[in-house]
């Protein structure tokens, strides 16, 4: 058997990928049909119009497009979106360094805890 070239192997893999993507689309369509049917049945049962659904769908999640789907997780936020600043929860009395209490504890707090101090002793009292 002759060796396949890189281009031929890549074309073969891409063909298989396309085939699997089409299978996935068919499977999703099959799974969606009964859900859509159930929604239509409920809409008829409760005399709900498509316009009411559109209005409720738009009002339920502000900032969400009525026709689009939203990604889950961190990828859902646009790349240029700014992170919200979180107010500090802990402050070192000598250095003034702060920590919000989110994520891994900073080195100064870990060192103080290792020396015997409690985390609560660094809480910022408002």
pLDDT tens for the chain, 126 residues long, are: 467 799 999 999 999 999 999 999 999 999 998 999 999 999 999 999 988 888 888 876 655 454 555 555 555 566 666 777 888 899 998 888 999 998 899 999 999 999 999 999 999 887
Same domain? 10 vs 49 = yes
Domain end call among 60, 77, 99: 60
What global pTM score does this model have?
0.36
Nearest to 87 by CA among 98, 96, 76: 98
**Tokens (6 digits) for 33:** 């049909």
Domain hosting residue 117, numbered range:
90-122
Amino acid 66: pLDDT? 47
What is the largest distance, in Å, between two alpha-carbon atoms of the chain?
77
Would 19 be classed as within a structural domain? yes
Nearest to 57 by CA among 47, 68, 71, 73: 68
Instruction: State the sign of the Cα–Cα–Cα–Cα dihedral 54, 55, 61, 66.
Output: positive
Same domain? 54 vs 94 = no
Same domain? 56 vs 95 = no
Backbone angles phi, psi at 76, to 5 degrees: -70, -25
Would 39 be classed as within a structural domain? yes
CB 88 within 8 A of CB 99: yes
Amino acid 57: pLDDT? 82
Would 67 be classed as within a structural domain? no
Would 52 be classed as within a structural domain? yes
Would 70 be classed as within a structural domain? no
Would 69 be classed as within a structural domain? no
Same domain? 10 vs 56 = yes
Would 51 be classed as within a structural domain? yes
Would 29 be classed as within a structural domain? yes
Query: How many Å apart are CA 7 and CA 54, to the nearest integer?
Result: 48
How many domains does one find in the chain? 2
| CB atoms near residue 112 (< 10 Å) | 20
Same domain? 56 vs 94 = no
Amino acid 83: pLDDT? 76
Amino acid 74: pLDDT? 57
């Amino acid at each position: 058997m002759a060796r396949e070239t890189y281009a031929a192997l890549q074309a073969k893999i891409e063909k298989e990928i396309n085939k699997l993507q089409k299978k996935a689309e068919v499977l999703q369509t099959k799974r969606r049909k009964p859900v859509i049917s159930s929604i239509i049945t409920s809409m008829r049962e409760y005399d709900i119009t498509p316009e009411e659904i559109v209005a409720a769908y738009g009002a339920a999640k502000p900032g969400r497009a009525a026709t689009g789907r939203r990604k889950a997780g961190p990828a859902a936020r646009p790349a240029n979106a700014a992170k919200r600043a979180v107010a500090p929860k802990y402050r070192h009395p000598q250095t003034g360094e702060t920590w919000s209490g989110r994520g891994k504890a900073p080195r100064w707090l870990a060192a103080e805890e290792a020396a015997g101090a409690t985390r609560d002793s660094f809480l910022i009292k408002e």
